[in-house]
Amino acid sequence: MVAEVMQIRTYREQAKLSQEELGALLGVTRQTIAAWEKGDRAPSLEQFSKLARALNIPVDFLLDKTEDPGTSLLFRADNPESLGPELRALLARKSQDYASVERMTGELSALPPSHNLEGYDPLLSEAMGREIRDWLGVEQAPLGDVLSLLEEKGIKVILHSLPSEVSGLSAYTEELGGVIFVNAEHPTERKYFTALHELGHLIFHRREYGKPQSGKDREKENTANHFAGAVLMPRNVIEKELRSYRKQWIPEPLLQDLKLRYQISMRTILIRAHQVGMILPSQKRQQYDALDKKYGPTKEDPVLPPPKTLRRLEKLVYQALLKEEITTSRAAEILNKPLVEVHRELNYWLEEGDES
């Protein structure tokens, strides 16, 4: 077992926890965590269970050597070299667990139809953005909480800590369907944009999952970016909102107001204004530089409230429990919750069922 506990360091760093922080979560000292990571000592079985919950991984990832996930799920990512084999294996397991619960409950995930696209077509990206807004049922209204909206349509969305340079990624197979992963550490507006960006890949590039990268990958990223912006803020909306500022400097208070209403970054608003011809490329760059100088390259005010807690997987797990399709211990592993908490919440779901 000692050789296997060396994995603790990999997953601790992946979870962005120091030895002190992990020790505090488990009620042990930093020195104990260090000893586990060196293989000088091994956790007890109870400690293994607590470790797995703290690191948000299955227990067997600490006990067994995981297989190469490339054989089971095909991934796309904005920075694929940042995804180590352990992280890919973990995300593959989460995808597979989610899909298995969907099959148990008979509520399979949904995806919009595939539209295979070679190259970057701005007009098609705009048109598909309008089509997806209709599919989501939002017409011309602001989207609000994008992650919850996608969940309501039956799309698998998972928030997870990822390397800071990775905004998100998606995975797809014919058997398991599609799943979107979003970096849980990023600002809210970036989470929303990333989720739609990955949805764009699942629409336009579904046949490309798992294929080697090529020189056309930049065009694929441009397509997904344009699509995400068009879903968040369609052409007719940006033209209406900025009609008084065509070819003019857009005041920052207006950008901030639009950010709050449409849950979209000020930088993306500038890009959309340029894409629809409201401002010139030089003006977009100047305003972009002004925001970078004021806030830094990755931040801006105001700060949007966090998205709601994602509930679809939890709902399906408890439905499977009520149907006796899954054990409480397996449910606790999938939800990364203590067994006692799953038992308590199951009683709540039973009471809800009695009242309906």
Residue linked to tokens 């190259």:
119
- Position 352 scores a pLDDT of 67
Backbone angles phi, psi at 174, to 5 degrees: -60, -35
Low-confidence winner among 2-16, 83-97, 184-198 (lowest mean pLDDT): 2-16
- Position 214 scores a pLDDT of 57
Residue linked to tokens 């039973």:
350
Question: What pLDDT, in 10s, does the model give residues 276-320?
Answer: 999 999 999 999 999 999 999 888 999 999 999 999 999 999 999
- Position 47 scores a pLDDT of 80
Percent of the residues in the chain that have a pLDDT greater than 90, as a whole number: 58
- Position 67 scores a pLDDT of 47
356 pLDDT band, cuts 50/70/90, is very low
166-192 average pLDDT score:
94
pTM for this prediction: 0.86
Bridge-based pairing of strands 177-183 and 156-160 is parallel
Residue 244 is given by DSSP the state G
Task: Name which residue leads in pLDDT, 199 or 52.
Answer: 199
Low-confidence winner among 16-20, 215-219, 243-247 (lowest mean pLDDT): 215-219
The residues that bridge with 181 in the sheet, in sequence order, are 158, 169
Residue 3, pLDDT above cutoff 60: no
- Position 256 scores a pLDDT of 97
Residue 237, pLDDT above cutoff 90: yes
Task: Name which residue leads in pLDDT, 65 or 273.
Answer: 273
Percent of the residues in the chain that have a pLDDT greater than 70, as a whole number: 93
- Position 199 scores a pLDDT of 97
CA gyration radius for the chain?
Answer: 22
Task: Name which residue leads in pLDDT, 72 or 246.
Answer: 246
Across the chain, mean pLDDT equals 88
Residue linked to tokens 């500022």:
245
Burial string for 230-258 (b: 16+ CB within 10 Å, else e) reads bbbbbbebbeebbeeeeeeebeeeebeeb
Question: What pLDDT, in 10s, does the model give residues 105-151?
Answer: 999 888 999 998 888 999 999 999 999 999 999 878 899 999 999 99
- Position 353 scores a pLDDT of 57
Residue 189, pLDDT above cutoff 50: yes
Question: What pLDDT, in 10s, does the model give residues 156-173?
Answer: 999 999 999 999 999 998
- Position 49 scores a pLDDT of 79
**What CA dihedral angle connects 269, 271, 277 and 282, to 10 degrees?**
120
Task: Name which residue leads in pLDDT, 79 or 92.
Answer: 92
263 pLDDT band, cuts 50/70/90, is very high
70 pLDDT band, cuts 50/70/90, is very low
Identify whether the C-beta of residue 223 lies closer than 8 Å to the C-beta of residue 183.
Answer: no
- Position 213 scores a pLDDT of 62
**Residue length, the chain?**
356
